[in-house]
Structure 1
Amino acid sequence: MNSTSEKTERWYHGVTRYQWLVLAIASAGWVFDVYEGQVFNITRTQMLSDILGGEGGDVKRYGDFFLAIFLLGGTVGGLAAGSLADRFGRRPIMVVTILMYSLFSGLTFFATELWQVAALRFLVALGVGGEWAVAASLVAEVFPVRARAHASGIFQASSVLGTWFAALAGIAVGAQWRYAYLIGIIPALLVLWIRSSVREPESWQATKSEAESSEGGRQLGSFRELLLTPQWGSRALLGMALAAIGLGTFWSVTVAGQDLARELLLREGTSPDIASRNAKFAFGIVQTAGGGLGLLAFGPLCARFGRRFSFVAMQLLAFLIVPVTCYLPGSFPQLLVILPVFGFFTLGIHSGYAIYFPELFPTHLRATGTSFCFNGGRVLAVPVLLFSGWLKSQQGVDLRLAITALGSLFLVGVVLMFFLPETKGKELPR
């Protein structure tokens, strides 16, 4: 009878007002987290052309260079924030990380030199990388098993709003790119909401009390225990590799939808300014809409078919859609039809990281392990991004061929899933 009830009962039945509140706050932080990352992707052509004086080749090269710096900053901030969140609690670390990315995004308004852009992107990334792991762990700990995959999927899918926000801001400010970064100060207001509404999860409070009352007990947020305990260490390393596939392909393949649109428009004889504006719309609005549907779909897929099957299926389909998107469209309207499908499959797996990584680790290592997987994946993604920038900037190399080659990384992600455990329907490790 219980089994029948579980099958027919809606996932959100019994979810409390406080649980919805936590999801809303975590999602709001993640929306602006993504905005801070995507606003550079949306405005980098104008920004770097302004600072470099319009040197096209250098704009492409420095664009991927600064994205690599962003990934490195996210790694450092994420690893530190994850460990600190396990030691001192989820709420205070969320506050610090949001303040960091808000402040340094706003300061980008004043950047006039390349080194200033590099430093500020690194500092913004410290906050961005830290906020995600803490928020993902918080959502996983607050929601019950039956609702966890759906809630975490919604949390991750809210990133679409951040990308849309960045795209609309980029379109609105046009060549006046500085104002898009000034908008990034707004999420600092979230801090008041967090401090007044969020309390520490009961599982973390119990673990904290246990650690304080016992000698030689568990060490909260210990990288040593995470990596040297065989069960947790193997999960951390495999999870990091899995995240590297998603992050590497995101920055080298998924965001290249904007470049594909721009090049197609230029081949059709569209002026550079109009091509740039329409490409922003194609990527930031049209493709991202499909990506958002993929992110929303991944949670229910995980709940129904399991984490392993969902990751494998989505990555196989992502591998197949990349060459189709690169070579099939013969016109800009045709590309607009395919881009949502491209976004659905190449972006959808990212919901899996918020769902899956917190389920791999015990409470005293949850934020640390989740952060290690996602932000350690940023380190492994950096060589992919640097190679992508080099490959795409080579004379005589067709952008479509470069993107298709980079899309083969999805097959590596398929293989990795066969070495990771299935966590569907299981309680979080204690």
Structure 2
Amino acid sequence: MDQPPPDSRPWYAGVTRYQWLVLAIASAGWVFDAFEGQLFNITRGDMLPELLGSNTDPGEVKRWGDRLLAVFLVGGTLGGVLFGSVADRIGRRPTMVITILFYSVFSGLTYFGTDVYQVAVLRFLVALGVGGEWAVAAALVAEVFPANARARASAIFHATSVLGLWLAGLAGLAVGSQWRYAYVIGVVPALLVLWVRAAVREPERWRRAEGVARRGSFRELFGTPRWAKPAVLGILLATVGLGTFWGVAVAGQDLTRDLLVRSGASADVASRDAKLAYGIVQAAGSGLGLFCFGPLAERLGRRGAFALMHALALAIVPVTCYLPQTYWQMLLVLPLFGFFTVGIHAGYAVYFPELFPDHLRATGAGVCFNGGRLLAAPVLWGSGELKAWIGDPRLAVTLLGSLFAAGLVLIWLMPETKGKPLPE
């Protein structure tokens, strides 16, 4: 019997208006997730001296900055795990509403913070919403889009985070040293709640799972071998990506500044040009890599796309560290550096929801992504210690880049999901 000819239509040909709407809403939520997360990095230079006192030792200011980042990291992890389970229990729409309100309202309340302890509590609560929204939105996009469009839609969803980083930068420029007003802007995403309530319907797959008694059960997730293995391996895979993000990808700015200083540039010029190279040039390559993961996953399979990106990331790190000898050469290499080291992250939104059944999808995806976030914390700490001990940022970043090899091993142990229906 003859096989039917392959569908030659573009992937978006059969996507409905409602499916595009869901992608737009999920992406808007994720954009503001990234915005809220980046806002502290943009404002900390003005916020912390004011809250701690202008005469505070710079070392103490830095320590509090690191502490607040750690608080946000833990809050995001707990939020992703908690709200992923909640989304499997009560539904995608109400949980998305809750997470958006969490991160927008508590961000706005930061305007009234009078000491670092109040800000720490508020940043923790913001992080709960930020971590939770990703798990809910990733599951929603995967469930609403047809199989032939799922990978591309999920990659687009994750890639929009770059817009949030740029928005945070613009907000920082707009408010200048008046950091409190940046957090007032952080209330704006609360308006998304009206759109979510009016437009989003619970996916048919989730409604069919309503009769399952143990929806969102961590005991089932880790107690059932079929789901426990991908959950554990998924956490480790995300640990590689998130650990190398903080230890390797963000070092693009440090590598550029080091090159400029070695070339004779003043500290001020080196700092300014390095920020431009990292914030614009490398970020553009990172965004392109995130968008391209979807088409790669459709052509090569999920495992093939991950393997290719990890292998090329492993190769591009020493090239970026040692090949450029001038600032302009570095500007040519940084987009490739961002493409491969950061583009991997879109794969988590594509792959993790495909590993788990309807009644555990948001739970499993949230545990994988945010469990990796938590395990990446020691890498973040260790990368700083390694760079200080070695003294040469190029060698330190090259050594940290070897973590991408672990990703190659992990993805080899994981299942292929391309062309397969979502587990029920």
SS at 2:5 equivalent? helix
Partner of 1:412: 406
Specify whether residues 323 and 129 from structure 1 end up closer, same or farther in structure 2 by C-alpha distance, changes over 3 A only. Answer: same
SS at 2:376 equivalent? helix
Q: Structure 1 residue 293: deviation in Å? A: 0.6
**Quick check: 1:229 aligned with 2:230?**
no
Q: 2:72 aligns with which of 70, 77, 82?
A: 70
1:374-398 CA-partner distances (Å, limit 9, x unpaired): 1111121111112223334x37622
Partner of 1:214: none
Specify whether residues 15 and 238 from structure 1 end up closer, same or farther in structure 2 by C-alpha distance, changes over 3 A only. Answer: same
1:130-165 CA-partner distances (Å, limit 9, x unpaired): 000100000000001111001101111111111221
Cα distance in 2 for residues equivalent to 1:335 and 1:42: 24
Q: Structure 1 residue 43: deviation in Å? A: 3.9
SS at 2:187 equivalent? helix
Q: Give the length in aligned residue pairs.
A: 420
What aligned pairs does 1:87-166 form with structure 2 within 5 A after superposition? 87-166=89-168
Specify whether residues 259 and 69 from structure 1 end up closer, same or farther in structure 2 by C-alpha distance, changes over 3 A only. Answer: farther
TM-score (norm 1): 0.91
Residue 167 of structure 1 contacts residue 284 of structure 1 at CA under 8 Å; is this kept in 2?
no
Q: Structure 1 residue 184: deviation in Å? A: 1.6
Partner of 1:5: 6
Residue 399 of structure 1 aligns with an amino acid whose one-letter code is P
Residue 79 of structure 1 contacts residue 375 of structure 1 at CA under 8 Å; is this kept in 2?
yes
1:212-245 CA-partner distances (Å, limit 9, x unpaired): xxxxxx4110000010000101110110111111
Cα distance in 1 for residues equivalent to 2:272 and 2:109: 25
Cα distance in 2 for residues equivalent to 1:391 and 1:177: 33
Q: Structure 1 residue 331: deviation in Å? A: 3.5
Cα distance in 2 for residues equivalent to 1:108 and 1:172: 18
Cα distance in 2 for residues equivalent to 1:104 and 1:418: 41
Quick check: 49-58 or 81-90, which moved more? 49-58
Cα distance in 2 for residues equivalent to 1:196 and 1:134: 17
Q: Structure 1 residue 48: deviation in Å? A: 4.2
Kindly report the root-mean-square deviation, in angstroms, between the aligned alpha carbons of the 2 structures. Answer: 2.2
Q: 1:399 aligns with which of 378, 393, 396?
A: 393
What aligned pairs does 1:152-301 form with structure 2 within 5 A after superposition? 152-208=154-210, 210-211=211-212, 218-265=213-260, 268-272=264-268, 275-301=270-296
Partner of 1:215: none
Q: Structure 1 residue 91: deviation in Å? A: 0.5
Q: 2:299 aligns with which of 300, 304, 315?
A: 304
Q: Structure 1 residue 118: deviation in Å? A: 2.7
Q: Structure 1 residue 266: deviation in Å? A: 5.1
SS at 1:5 equivalent? coil
Residue 94 of structure 1 contacts residue 131 of structure 1 at CA under 8 Å; is this kept in 2?
yes
Q: Structure 1 residue 326: deviation in Å? A: 2.6
Quick check: 23-32 or 66-75, which moved more? 66-75
Partner of 1:375: 370
**Quick check: 1:322 aligned with 2:312?**
no
Specify whether residues 260 and 301 from structure 1 end up closer, same or farther in structure 2 by C-alpha distance, changes over 3 A only. Answer: same
Residue 31 of structure 1 contacts residue 161 of structure 1 at CA under 8 Å; is this kept in 2?
yes
Residue 297 of structure 1 aligns with an amino acid whose one-letter code is C
Specify whether residues 45 and 400 from structure 1 end up closer, same or farther in structure 2 by C-alpha distance, changes over 3 A only. Answer: farther
SS at 1:330 equivalent? coil
Cα distance in 1 for residues equivalent to 2:304 and 2:19: 28
Specify whether residues 415 and 58 from structure 1 end up closer, same or farther in structure 2 by C-alpha distance, changes over 3 A only. Answer: farther
1:233-284 CA-partner distances (Å, limit 9, x unpaired): 1110110111111111112222222333444455543453x65454433322
Quick check: 139-148 or 260-269, which moved more? 260-269
Residue 171 of structure 1 contacts residue 280 of structure 1 at CA under 8 Å; is this kept in 2?
no
Identity of matched residues, %: 65
Partner of 2:357: 362
Cα distance in 2 for residues equivalent to 1:331 and 1:172: 32
Residue 131 of structure 2 contacts residue 370 of structure 2 at CA under 8 Å; is this kept in 1?
yes
Cα distance in 2 for residues equivalent to 1:244 and 1:257: 20
Quick check: 175-184 or 99-108, which moved more? 175-184
TM-score (norm 2): 0.92
Q: Structure 1 residue 63: deviation in Å? A: 3.9
Residue 171 of structure 1 contacts residue 277 of structure 1 at CA under 8 Å; is this kept in 2?
no
Cα distance in 1 for residues equivalent to 2:328 and 2:254: 15
1:283-317 CA-partner distances (Å, limit 9, x unpaired): 22221110111011100000011011111110111
Quick check: 321-330 or 281-290, which moved more? 321-330
SS at 1:4 equivalent? coil
Quick check: 42-51 or 286-295, which moved more? 42-51
Cα distance in 2 for residues equivalent to 1:57 and 1:332: 30
Partner of 2:35: 35
Residue 164 of structure 1 contacts residue 288 of structure 1 at CA under 8 Å; is this kept in 2?
no
Quick check: 43-52 or 72-81, which moved more? 43-52
Cα distance in 2 for residues equivalent to 1:10 and 1:372: 33
Residue 68 of structure 1 aligns with an amino acid whose one-letter code is A
Cα distance in 2 for residues equivalent to 1:350 and 1:12: 22
Residue 102 of structure 1 aligns with an amino acid whose one-letter code is S
Residue 183 of structure 1 aligns with an amino acid whose one-letter code is I
Cα distance in 1 for residues equivalent to 2:172 and 2:68: 18
Residue 6 of structure 2 aligns with an amino acid whose one-letter code is S
Specify whether residues 277 and 114 from structure 1 end up closer, same or farther in structure 2 by C-alpha distance, changes over 3 A only. Answer: farther
Quick check: 351-360 or 315-324, which moved more? 315-324
